[in-house]
Amino acid sequence: MTFYNRRPRASGSVSRTAVNRTQASAALDSALLALRGPFIVADLETTGLSTSTCEILEFAAVRVEASGALAREYTQVVRTRSPVPSFITRLTGITQAEVDRHGVPVMQAFSSFLEFVEDLPVFFHNASFDRRFLGAAADLTGMPFANPTHCTLALARRAWPELPSHKLEILARHVGASNPTHRALADVRTTVAVALAASSRLALA
């Protein structure tokens, strides 16, 4: 039989799991505070998943007041440097013709987006994805995106742990919201409904 000497844990040390739980709890508290409004819900459509090879194709955002009312909306297609991939057109409905006709350079679109969101907290569904592309846009344009951000996916997981998935379309059906369409503004409106429903659910927990 072999014995192993276990190194005693230093006094006052905290396990990584406990730290993660503390951080998650703090993030949840911060998000719920931000949902008291006003706040922004935003979404990006992109030409793919990688910030090194893909671009932002569409910005959308909605300002939500403390009452839960949708006050203003912003949406803008971006004139990407590369052609819109056919699979993205099939997914989002955004065609090259629409980009050529209505798109503006990313510098202009990003500047307008930043002006719209002001310094308010911004919610995204799966925020880490959107933050990566906004960070790439900030590096490209020299205009920083410094708003506090929150994730409605994390909120939904905490609010409805019983659901088998927390994809936006499943959450939309669960809360009785309109189905997302992979157009940024439609998905933002759905995300607003999910955020407000999650806020109400968690307030009762």
| Domain definitions of the chain by residue range | 31-204
Q: When comparing pLDDT for 10 and 143, which is higher?
A: 143
pLDDT band at 3 (very low <50, low <70, confident <90, very high): very low
Upstream peptide bond of 121 is cis (omega within 30 degrees of 0): no
Q: pLDDT at residue 7 above 60? A: no
pLDDT band at 205 (very low <50, low <70, confident <90, very high): low
Question: What's the rounded Cα separation, in Å, for the pair 19 and 68?
Answer: 33
Nearest to 77 by CA among 49, 97, 91: 97
pLDDT of residue 195: 97
For the stretch 87-138, pLDDT in tens is 999 999 999 999 999 999 999 999 999 999 999 999 999 999 999 999 999 9
* Residue 149 backbone phi and psi in degrees, to 5: -120, 150
Q: For residue range 129-141, list pLDDT tens digits in order.
A: 999 999 999 999 9
Give the helix ranges, DSSP H, for 9-119. Answer: 16-34, 86-92, 96-102, 106-117
Q: Who's near 191: CB < 8 A, 6+ residues apart?
A: 41, 43, 123, 124, 125, 152, 168, 180
Task: List, by residue number, the catalytic residues.
Answer: 182
Distance CA 59, CA 175 (A): 25
pLDDT tens-digit series, residues 43-85: 999 999 999 999 999 999 999 999 999 999 999 999 999 999 9
- What global pTM score does this model have? 0.88
Q: Would you identify the CATH topology of the domain 31-204?
A: Nucleotidyltransferase; domain 5 (3.30.420)
Reply yes or no on whether the pLDDT at 41 is more than 60: yes
